[in-house]
Structure 1
Amino acid sequence: MKRKKEMKMAKDFYTAVEERRSIYVISKDHAVSNERIQEVVEFAVKHTPTSFNSQSGRVVVLFNQHHDKFWDLTKETLREIVPAEDFGPTEQKMEMFKAGSGTVLFFEDEEAVRALQEQFPTYSDKFPEYSLQSSGMLQFIVWTALEQEGLGATLQHYQPLIDEKVRNEWNIPASWKLHAQMPFGQPVAPAGDKEFQPLSERMKVFK
Structure 2
Amino acid sequence: MKKSTSTVIISFGIIQCLAVIGCMTFMQCKKTEPKPIKDIGKALNANDSIYLQKTALTPETKAALDLLAKQPMAEGSLGEQLVTFIGAGIYDFGEMFKFMDLKFHERDAVVIEKTRHEIDDLGRIMLAFPQMKIRLEAYTDNTGSAKKNEQVTIDRVNYIKSQLLSFGITEDRVEAKGFGPKYPVGDNKTPVGQMINNRIELVLVKLF
TM-score (structure 2 length as normaliser): 0.28
Higher RCO, Cα 8 Å, sep 6+ = 1
Q: TM-score scaled by structure 1?
A: 0.29
